[in-house]
Structure 1
């Protein structure tokens, strides 16, 4: 079986979401037979062929003012002509998403829901995080995966006054890594099933 290509398209205004994207990539690469392709959203207009070749696309945007970032929204809008109008080209691809904000909630769920709807408009199959909420009991800890308790995708929290070299915390990066691995495993199963 050929290698399964999984693209990670993301925007990062200050570097924090880029670290999350890199963690997702590490997770993808833990699954044999997969190849991860990091695509900063600024490069996406020149990478439509790479995105079309991918079996899965994982979307990542910081949460700004309770929503996706403007550069990521511009990318989404561009897909209406570059992808959607050209025959529903991403239909039946696997999709997933992640977001980062300074606040624990920061309305990251709203951003991930926007990414989910975007994937649905392209006819894609959404993969959730697949983890129970962490750190939600007296025996929980800040080291728990999914410590922010988001089911739909991977969330991360980065203090507004700290550089990307020190935040998001390691547990949020491990959660993003988990998402990458889960998407890679799901995509491999999907591709193998289709081939059978």
Structure 2
């Protein structure tokens, strides 16, 4: 079975809840970036051993949180040795607004993955574009690049949309399956 790691930062718990759904689908280990933008040393070993790495961050002001950016800058050490080359990568995000410029966050993740010589995998989940569409549908926000969740700013993590969480779980499952195929 492929080893998958989900490395994420969550400011208010919403991205953590989505990370838990993604990790459940992937059978992945969760690695939380703390409020100071740091990861424990053991987490770096987990990332090194992983066949796939999934990034997660809330979208703040059109990009990743500063804590995630600090982590990304610290990946220059594995970048220098090409330690993450040919790993499968993916990413997910959450914001309070329906658009919230979440694609900028996903594109940031893609760029980071490509700089490491990784292989990016999107959702692989189609979306419904009919009048019958419901907010609870899978991939309702229609992102091919990675799961995008939307949670109103005054809603707690427990109030997150079930369709967004299930999209995350299925995305995690897809990443694990692709990593297993790719490592053969």
Offset, 1:45: 4.8
The corresponding residue for 1:92 is: 86
Give runs of ≥4 in structure 1 deviating > 4 Å. Answer: none
Q: Which runs of 5+ in 1 are unaligned?
A: 30-35
Give the structure with the larger strand fraction.
1
The corresponding residue for 1:33 is: none
RMSD: 1.1
Q: Which runs of 5+ in 2 are unaligned?
A: none
CA distance in 2, matches of 1:53, 1:26: 19
CA distance in 2, matches of 1:57, 1:98: 11
Which of the residues 138, 151, 171 maps onto 2:131?
138
Offset, 1:49: 1.1
CA contact (8 A) 1:9 1:44 kept: no
Pair 1:180-2:172 in alignment: yes
The corresponding residue for 1:117 is: 111
Superposition TM-score, scaled by structure 2 size: 0.94
Pair 1:108-2:102 in alignment: yes
- Per-residue Cα deviation, 1:5-44 (whole angstroms, up to 9, x for no partner): 1000000000000000000011113xxxxxx110002352
CA contact (8 A) 1:92 1:125 kept: yes
Which of the residues 148, 151, 164 maps onto 1:158?
151
The corresponding residue for 2:64 is: 68
Superposition TM-score, scaled by structure 1 size: 0.89
Q: Aligned residues, how many?
A: 180
CA distance in 2, matches of 1:130, 1:165: 26
